[in-house]
Amino acid sequence: MAKQAQEGRPMHVYTLVVELGRKPGDGLPEGATGAGLVCYAAGKTEAEAVRETVTILKQADMAPLDVTGYGSLRDREAEGQVIEAEERALMQRAHDENAVIIAQMQPYFDTPDDASGNGRGGDEGDDLGDRRRDR
């Protein structure tokens, strides 16, 4: 994305949730069935941010299965979401470095105490709101 991304349309940072499967050498904990990542990715468009994120994760020997976009900082603020200072700082870093920042990783495990059957070890979901755009 480097210099070319700085020309033309302005860069934005998009909040993405990436679902990972397993792949040898992916660095996920032993016994995990996959993981969920919260990422902040710079791009001119959300589609560009998704493509760059998937490319980087594949280069890191991870297996991205699905990406859900929650929009840019401006989109999220327009929806009335409260963006904490720590999250803003990570988004600013992604913007300044024209990068993908992995802000959170939640490994998924198939456990008997997971009554939902989703393999997420009792994951109660996220707090990014109900707006989801699958890519």
Whole-number Å distance between alpha carbons of 62 and 55? 10
For residues 44-52, give the mean pLDDT: 96
List the chain domain ranges: 2-118
For residues 36-45, give the mean pLDDT: 97
Among residues of the chain, what percentage have pLDDT more than 90? 73
Give the type of residue at 13: V
What pLDDT score was predicted for residue 44?
95
Whole-number Å distance between alpha carbons of 128 and 114? 22
**Residue 37: pLDDT band by 50, 70, 90 thresholds?**
very high
For residues 122-130, give the mean pLDDT: 43
What pLDDT score was predicted for residue 7?
64
Q: What's the pTM value of the predicted model, to 2 decimals?
A: 0.77
What pLDDT score was predicted for residue 109?
95
Query: Any idea which residue has 């302005």 for tokens?
Result: 10
Q: In what order do the strands lie in the sheet with 34-43?
A: 100-108, 34-43, 12-21, 63-72, 133-134
